[in-house]
Chains A and B, each alone.
Chain A
Amino acid sequence: MTDTAWIDAALTSARPQAVGALLRYFRNLDTAEEAFQNACLRALKSWPQNGPPRDPAAWLIMVGRNVAIDDIRRSRKQEPLPEDEAISDLDDAEDALAERLDGSQYRDDILRLLFICCHPDLPATQQIALALRIVSGLTVKQIARAFLVSEAAMEQRITRAKARVADADVPFETPGAVERTERLSAVAAMIYLIFNEGYSAGGDTADIRAPLCEEAIRLARLLLRLFQSEPEIMGLTALLLLQHARAAARFDSQGALVLLDDQDRSLWNQTMIAEGLALIDKAMRHRRSGPYQIQAAIAALHARAAKPEDTDWTQIDLLYGALEIMQPSPVVTLNRAVAVSKVRGPEAALEMIEPLAPRLSNYFHFFGVRGAFLMQLGRNDEARVAFDRAIALANTTVEAAHIRMHLDRLMRDSQPRGSKISKK
């Protein structure tokens, strides 16, 4: 690492804690962010000379707070000073705060900061953008790049989101147990959204968007460190790790999607898989199942299979069945049908998804999966119709290309017959 890289790393890792605490002081997102920025500037000057402080977050909070209060004083010279906000010297910033470092307070600070970004009035894309800007500290340019939009558009999106959050009542009281659980689940959902934003990228943009997956994992780990005994947070972290472990194998050199069955499993990241499996083990001890844990357990069964044919589809079918009960959704049933096709054959699977047709009539994957089942059954004409529909509904060029590959296979399969006819 270069000389200043450790400072960057320290500032990034202290950010959620520091901005969270500053927000608690100032109760205003912009003031908190600005205070943090100013503290970072001072850190860049001070740390290379004096070495890193014992507790970088505490240092940044104290310095950020003092600088902001100085600014407020300067801009309101006529008004009396805030009484209890004593301005202390930079040097003893750390000592002054060291004693007040209270784990549980920080825990709620960080949770609040994340929770603010999940405001129900904000559309998902704004929630994610806001969290990446405020909590993760990515620059607008970085976020814009990850979302494949212009910097100006992203700037506007974040400004709007901030304005909306500023108008809303931000809950500053220490949350009760029920509230804390609610916040936790909203935040977990938002972290999963960030991950999916990166994970659903096509092969042509996967590299650009992969940082979103990594950031989501970092936030999930952060949350888990704050809430160590929450099985669903263990499940979420495990799920993200197990899915991201396959990143290097998910696209071929042309950027085309490679299905799980066809992936080169030697490219899977075994360290991430090991961590994911360990977290599922921990979560299961609590015997409080939940959607993230079940999805992680499904991902784990794939990760544990050295070859596709080793996959325990029966267990996957059962897990999807449990997920259907917990979170009934046609998409879950559709996923379950894939497992059913492996256990009981395509006929049973097809029967299972037929009732979903009205609700999934605009869903790309429905027609992709349906086409694949029909193809397995040799009903090629019907398969072709389903695949055509899928292509029409594809969200990305990668999705469309993938279905086209199926169509090409159908064409190839039907060619011998075709050539015979042409000979006549």
Chain B
Amino acid sequence: MLYAILCYHDEDTVGSWTKEQDATVMKKLAVVQDKLTKQGRLGPVARLLPTTSATTLRKDDPPIVIDGPYAETKEQLLGFYVVDCKNLDEALDVARELGAANPGGAYEIRPVGLFQPGSTAT
């Protein structure tokens, strides 16, 4: 079974880490990640850019684009895509196309700051 581990933290706090503090945390994380990679168990890892860089597509009819992250709590996180796009407009086009195939709810579109594709043996 593949498990997704979703990371939550206060972005003000994480954002206020100094370069050294950030590097220390990343180094500690790398130890765990390396172990999993050697075992062929680590899939993609992503560090997202801050929520200020997010845009939300509400999959209403017609869909509406809203600046900022998805802020409602009525719906639950059910999945995610990682798509290579030239810019936000292209990412929104992809989201609209997906939304047409599966209306209702919303997509939050967030640029990825750091991405390791990873590979799992299974």
Contact = CB atoms under 8 A, between A and B. Distances in A.
B53 A282 contact: yes
A13 interface: yes
Interface of A: 1, 6, 9-10, 12-13, 218, 221, 224-225, 228-229, 234, 237, 271, 274-275, 278-279, 281-282, 285
B113 A221 contact: no
Given A279-B52, A281-B88, A12 B16 contact: yes
Contacts of A6: 13
A218 B21 contact: no
Secondary structure of the B contact surface, majority rule: mixed
B49 A221 contact: no
Contacts of A9: 12-13, 16
27 contacts: A1-B21, A9-B12, A9-B13, A10-B13, A13-B10, A13-B16, A218-B15, A221-B52, A224-B52, A228-B52, A228-B67, A237-B52, A271-B49, A271-B113, A274-B49, A274-B113, A275-B53, A275-B113, A278-B88, A279-B52, A279-B53, A281-B87, A281-B88, A282-B55, A282-B88, A285-B65, A285-B88
A9 to B, nearest CB: 5
A336 to B, nearest CB: 26
Secondary structure of the A contact surface, majority rule: helix
Contacts of A278: 49, 53, 88, 111
Given A237-B52, A281-B89, 20 more contacts: A6-B13, A12-B12, A13-B16, A218-B15, A218-B16, A221-B15, A228-B52, A228-B68, A229-B66, A229-B68, A271-B49, A274-B49, A274-B111, A275-B53, A278-B88, A279-B53, A282-B53, A282-B88, A285-B65, A285-B88
B4 interface: no
A187 to B, nearest CB: 16
A249 B49 CA distance: 23
Nearest to A217: B15
Interface of B: 10, 12-13, 15-16, 21, 49-53, 55, 65-68, 87-89, 111, 113-114
A166 to B, nearest CB: 29
A54 to B, nearest CB: 12
Given A9-B13, A12-B16, A221 B88 contact: no
B78 to A, nearest CB: 24
A225 B52 contact: yes
B113 A282 contact: no
A108 B66 CA distance: 21
